Amino acid sequence: MPEEELHTSSYWFSFSEEAAARKSKNEMQFALLGLANVLVHIAPLYLMCDPFDIRVVPQVKAIHSQRPTIYFYDRYPGGIGLSERLFEVHDELLKQAKSMITSCTCLSGCPACVGPIEEVGLLGKQQALELILEAERKS
Ligand SMILES: [Zn+2]
């Protein structure tokens, strides 16, 4: 029988229910998407891989935890260890994400940081930053 799904490895981090409660569903969507867009830029730098090799997928309500979650997937069947390596540098990833957002000179978001405002909304930058602060508070 041919495989129908891509079995690969992944790493994820979730936000607390309190963090979720502080934002509307829409705000959380923008915040997660903004943060995921930043992580897409950053993750390949740590892995020295092609940005295409890793997928970053935000979910407002993850099936396994019911919480806002960001997933990282290897794009290869079985995984090639990329997501494991990201897990190891988790704190560093968030730190870099924060500095990428705060050092970007755009006002509300741009393709070089959280993504264009059409995608993440006018508060996309702020929302993504708030999420990082939530994640840091926890660790
Ligand atoms: Zn920007």
CA distance 119 to 78: 32
- Reported as a single tens digit per residue, the pLDDT across 84-132 is 999 999 999 999 999 999 999 999 999 999 999 999 999 999 999 999 9
- Is the Cα torsion angle 22, 41, 74, 84 positive or negative in sign? negative
Q: How far is the CA of 122 from the centre of ligand 1 (A)?
A: 12
Listed residues: CB within 5 A of ion ligand 1: 104, 106, 110, 112-113
Res. 139: pLDDT tops 60 = no
Q: How far is the CA of 5 from the centre of ligand 1 (A)?
A: 35
Strand 54-59, strand 69-74: pairing: antiparallel
CA terminus-to-terminus distance, the chain: 44
Half-sphere exposure of 113 (CA within 13 A, CB side): 25
What's the pTM value of the predicted model, to 2 decimals?
Answer: 0.91
